[in-house]
């Protein structure tokens, strides 16, 4: 889940949580009823936030529901594979995210090791995939961003982190506290990005995902082979500086459609991936 989604979820859940503080004003059974309603509301918010990844696949699996994204194709009831039958052979395609949102460096000192990372990238890539004995596709969808808009977004994040750190300091935490140090690191990282954009660097965002297809004489065999390939990719690519995660739910349909047509703007692209990361 990205930071913006976490903030929205926390702010939305705040309303029923505040309501819990007034439970004592309701007499007897009414208080219990109100508490149950508020807890159910919080649970529903959590379920909706992960609806694509957990809830929808669970419902479709229980009800044995499949979807047809295109002629002769179907999305399995587990919502994690697209299957096609060709001459009585089944082909199952699945996806992995690979830092689905714009790549973020783990430290604020971006330039210090950037050249070293670039120089060693080919060797690292070859070492990572040398044990993979099946084909796969690594997709990178890139787009230049509006400088001022990106700067405003980064400044907004920096302001949010500064607000969080001020709350920590007010709570009695000192500069040596690990949570405060981590928040300061995030603030420094945002400031470094602002400096880079202000210095003339053109911000570029990318969506990256991995696609692989397995074959079997039955649909189950194809899906089982696909799961094995997905696991192999997760293990092999984990050595790279990427967040590798299996795609399930709505995003399977979206990534499948990218084989036919791409979105026309990065905003259109990024809005399709608000819960997977």
pLDDT at 3: 45
Is the separation of the CB atoms in 38 and 63 below 8 Å? no
What is the dihedral angle through the alpha carbons of 197, 201, 203, 207, rounded to the nearest 10 degrees?
-130
Dihedral of alpha carbons 262, 263, 264, 269, sign: negative
pLDDT at 269: 73
Is the separation of the CB atoms in 47 and 55 below 8 Å? yes
Nearest Cα neighbor of 132 from 239, 26, 205 is 239
122-167 pLDDT, tens digit each: 787 888 888 899 999 998 888 888 888 888 888 998 898 888 888 8
30-87 pLDDT, tens digit each: 666 767 776 676 666 555 555 555 556 666 666 666 677 778 899 888 888 999 999 9
pLDDT at 5: 47
Cα distance between residue 259 and residue 69, in whole Å: 12
Nearest Cα neighbor of 54 from 245, 258, 196, 205 is 245
pLDDT band at 107; cut points 50, 70, 90: very low
pLDDT at 17: 59
Cα distance between residue 250 and residue 54, in whole Å: 11
Burial level of 84, CB count in 10 A (0-12/13-18/19+)? middle
pLDDT at 275: 41
Of 204 and 217, more confident? 217
Domain assignments of the chain as residue spans, ordered by start: 1-49, 50-145+203-270, 148-198
pLDDT band at 216; cut points 50, 70, 90: very high
| Predicted TM-score (pTM) of this structure | 0.63
Q: Is the pLDDT of residue 92 over 90?
A: yes
Per the prediction, the chain carries an average pLDDT of 76
155-200 pLDDT, tens digit each: 998 898 888 888 888 877 766 678 888 888 888 888 888 888 888 8
Average pLDDT over residues 93-101: 80
């Amino acid at each position: 889940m990205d930071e913006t989604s976490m903030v929205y979820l926390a702010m939305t859940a705040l309303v029923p949580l505040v309501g819990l503080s007034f439970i004592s004003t309701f007499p007897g059974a009414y208080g219990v009823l109100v508490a149950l309603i508020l807890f159910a509301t919080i649970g529903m918010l959590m379920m909706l936030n992960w609806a694509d990844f957990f809830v929808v696949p669970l419902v479709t699996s229980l009800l044995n529901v499949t979807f047809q994204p295109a002629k002769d194709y179907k999305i399995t009831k587990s919502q994690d594979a697209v299957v096609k039958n060709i001459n009585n052979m089944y082909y199952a395609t699945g996806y992995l995210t690979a830092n689905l949102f714009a790549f973020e460096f783990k430290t604020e000192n971006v330039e210090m090791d950037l050249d070293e990372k670039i120089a060693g990238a080919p060797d690292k890539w070859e070492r990572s995939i040398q044990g993979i004995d099946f084909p796969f596709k690594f997709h990178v969808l890139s787009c230049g961003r509006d400088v001022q808009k990106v700067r405003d977004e980064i400044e907004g994040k920096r302001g949010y982190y500064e607000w969080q750190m001020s709350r920590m300091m007010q709570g009695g935490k000192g500069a040596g506290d690990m949570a405060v140090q981590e928040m300061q690191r995030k603030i420094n990282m945002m400031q470094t990005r602002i400096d880079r954009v202000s210095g003339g660097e053109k911000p570029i965002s990318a969506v990256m995902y991995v696609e692989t297809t397995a074959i079997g004489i039955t649909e189950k065999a194809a899906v089982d082979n696909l799961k094995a390939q997905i696991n192999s990719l997760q293990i092999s690519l984990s050595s790279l500086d990427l967040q590798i995660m299996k795609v399930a739910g709505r995003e399977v349909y979206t990534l499948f459609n990218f084989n036919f047509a791409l979105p026309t703007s990065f905003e259109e692209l990024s809005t399709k991936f608000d819960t997977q990361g």
